Chains A and B, each alone.
With several copies, the nearest count.
Chain A
């Protein structure tokens, strides 16, 4: 039997994504097993304003980049930290 568990995950927004969303961070309840593509899609549904940069976003989980293109299934637990990462421009 597989339990359909969920996790409360902190989601951070930076740079242009922060400006579009209008907040720095939020908490979202996600299934514990979820694909990176689905996380991004749900964020885009929740925050329509993000659509203008949807092609250029990637995510990080607990300070490591997630490869959106691989569309891998990841495990989330409460207390995890996701971040929405628009194209970087440091230096």
Chain B
């Protein structure tokens, strides 16, 4: 199963883990990206995310396909939250199950790296002093040339 979603609500890790759990797969790896309270010494109040939703879903499904080309995995769930994401809350959760652990561990690492390089989602950091900044993933610079 490939489950991708972009939601405006809190993402529950337990829900994604339940989604990918199966009697056939003994390993589940999850990656959770949460809002930090600081960047370069500035206090971050919250993040605001926006997405090119249909294209982002498409790119997330492409990541599922790439994962399945590289590893024998069971179920994949990738959910990104948009809108305001307060400090400590999750903006992204990826959960992948596999029969043995190596596949789920390596493929989750690959999936988050690839998501940061290819999925059209944007993050604005809002600082305590009222200023803000649109962020840029370093992975994007490297992948831009290859479209």
**A–B contact at 8 Å CB threshold (below):** yes
B-contacting residues of A (Cβ < 8 Å)? 12, 14-16, 18, 56, 58, 60, 63-67, 69-70, 83, 85-91
CA distance A71 to B89 in the complex (A): 41
Closest partner residue, chain A, to B59 (CB atom): A63
Say if the beta carbon of B50 comes within 8 Å of chain A.
Answer: yes
Q: Does B51 contact A (CB under 8 A)?
A: yes
Contacts across chains A and B counted by CB atoms under 8 Å? 86
Q: Is B91 an interface residue (CB 8 A)?
A: yes
Give every chain B residue within 8 A of A69 (Cβ-Cβ).
Answer: 145
**Is A88's CB under 8 angstroms from B119's CB?**
yes
In the complex, the answer to whether A90 meets B116 with C-beta atoms within 8 Å is yes
Cα A56 to Cα B89 with chains together (Å):
29
Q: Is the Cβ of B115 less than 8 Å from the Cβ of A90?
A: yes
Binds A, one of B9-17, B65-73, B102-110, B135-143: B135-143
Q: Are B147 and A58 in contact (CB under 8 A)?
A: yes
A14-B120, A58-B147 in contact; A91/B52 too (CB < 8 A)? Answer: no
Contact partners of A60 in chain B: CB under 8 A: 52, 55, 120
CB distance from B33 to the nearest CB of A (A): 5
Q: Is the Cβ of B50 less than 8 Å from the Cβ of A15?
A: yes
Across-interface contacts of B118 in A (CB, < 8 A): 88
In the complex, residue of chain A having the shortest beta-carbon distance to the beta carbon of B124: A15
Tell me whether A90 and B141 are in contact (CB under 8 A). no
Would B112 and A63 count as touching, CB distance under 8 A? no
**Which residues of chain B are near A63, meaning CB under 8 Å?**
52, 54-55, 58
Residues in B neighbouring A83, C-beta threshold 8 A: 52, 55, 120
Closest to B119 in A: A90
Cβ of B146 < 8 Å from any Cβ of A? yes
